[in-house]
Amino acid sequence: MEYTTIVNQNRRAFLKTLGCTCCVPFLLPSCTQVAITERNQLSIYPESVINQNAHNAYQNIKKESKLSINKLHNRQLNTVGTRITKAVQIYFENIGKKESLDNFDWEFILIEDDSLNAWCMPGGKIAFYTGILDITKNEDGMAAVMGHEIAHAVAKHSVERASQAVLFNIGSTILDSVLDGALSASRVDDYVVQLGINLPFGRLQESEADYLGLIFMTLAGYDNTASIGVWERMQEASKSRTPPEFLSTHPTPGNRIKKLQQWIPEINAKYT
Ligand SMILES: [Zn+2]
């Protein structure tokens, strides 16, 4: 039998097993639930691996980037980040989901760069670019973007994306490696370090990050209506110059502002 036939047969058997019982040791656990929204998500890529890759990539970025030395802005960023992550920690303890934050080591940096950009890598490694401060304007605005980025991390969207990639996107290469017993998978690692920075999340994940982000900033006592102003200014900025970096990895503001307006009363009633 030819090698490719064996691999294809193995792959079919592998996927069948996955679909039926999820009992392949490498892939356990295959499914998790996002806290608060309770959406089921694929989770076959190990969080420890993705976090380690993110940690390494973040260290490199810190070395290679020009970090802002503006004391006020750095203090604001750390205040907002710490306030929100502490509020999230307390809330998760109260709802019995404390363990889902066990692998986070939050860190916030401000990069001196005119790009309108901010991102969060898996495990809680966050960066804001000084350019986006024109959009956030004040601490509440900063909290809106911070809440959104923290939400991507807490909801483990990168683990989900990497898992989807393993299964559907670049799955054939990876599965061949798995089936050969040689998961070097450097291609996955390359992919993984891009997650949270250059690769857009899916629409569902964006919407979930908007929703959770609003909740998180509200829990921390920020004015969640500031999120609307942020997206309006982002929309305005996209008209007047090259599309903001942030929008290249995020869907355009469009109806997300409408959704935020719908969610705010509900969130205020439940989380303030
Ligand atoms: Zn996002």
Distance between Cα 70 and ligand 1 center (Å): 26
* Rounded Cα–Cα distance for residues 56 and 270 (Å): 38
Distance between Cα 10 and ligand 1 center (Å): 37
For residue 68, pLDDT over 60 is answered with: yes
Distance between Cα 17 and ligand 1 center (Å): 33
**Residue 182: what pLDDT?**
41
178 CB-near residues (< 8 Å, 6+ apart): 14, 26
User: Does any domain span residue 53?
Assistant: yes
For residue 65, pLDDT over 70 is answered with: yes
CA-wise closest residue to 110 among 101, 119, 102: 119
**Residue 231: what pLDDT?**
92
Mean pLDDT of 215-239: 94
Strand pairing category for 107-111 and 125-129: parallel
The pair of structure tokens assigned to 233 is 């200014």
For residue 181, pLDDT over 50 is answered with: no
pLDDT digits (tens, 9 = 90+) for 229-261: 999 998 888 777 666 667 766 766 777 899 999
- pTM summary value: 0.80
User: Does any domain span residue 183?
Assistant: no
Distance between Cα 28 and ligand 1 center (Å): 27
Sign, Cα dihedral of 62, 67, 72, 76 = negative
* Ion ligand 1 residues within 5 Å by Cβ: 206, 209, 250
Distance between Cα 250 and ligand 1 center (Å): 6
User: Does any domain span residue 2?
Assistant: no
The pair of structure tokens assigned to 49 is 């691996």
Higher-confidence position of 70 and 56: 70
DSSP 32-86: EE-TTT--EEE--S-HHHHHHHHHHHHHHHHHHS-B---HHHHHHHHHHHHHHHH
Ranges 9-13, 98-102, 189-193, most confident: 98-102
Burial (Cβ within 10 Å: 0-12, 13-18, ≥19) of residue 139: middle
Residue 237: which domain range?
47-158+196-271
Confidence of residue 228 (pLDDT cuts 50, 70, 90): very high
270 CB-near residues (< 8 Å, 6+ apart): none
Distance between Cα 101 and ligand 1 center (Å): 19
Please give the tally of structural domains in the chain. Answer: 1
266 is catalytic: no
Q: Do the beta carbons of residue 225 and residue 268 sit within 8 Å? A: no
Distance between Cα 25 and ligand 1 center (Å): 32
Render the burial of 149-180: b for 16+ CB within 10 Å, e for the rest: bbbbbbbbbbbbbbbbbbbeebbeebbbbbbe
**Which candidate in 47, 149, 160, 245 is catalytic?**
149
Element (H, E) at 31: strand 31-33
What percentage of the chain exceeds 90 in pLDDT?
52
**Residue 195: what pLDDT?**
56
Residue with tokens 């995020």: 250
User: Does any domain span residue 235?
Assistant: yes
Higher-confidence position of 143 and 30: 143
Distance between Cα 29 and ligand 1 center (Å): 25
**Residue 151: what pLDDT?**
97
User: Does any domain span residue 187?
Assistant: no
Query: What is the rounded (10 degree) CA torsion for 3, 5, 11, 14?
Result: -100
The pair of structure tokens assigned to 210 is 């908007």
User: Does any domain span residue 134?
Assistant: yes
User: Does any domain span residue 225?
Assistant: yes
For residue 120, pLDDT over 50 is answered with: yes
> What Å distances lie between residue 263 and 176, 211, 221, CA to CA?
44, 7, 16
Distance between Cα 201 and ligand 1 center (Å): 7
**Residue 25: what pLDDT?**
44
User: Does any domain span residue 8?
Assistant: no
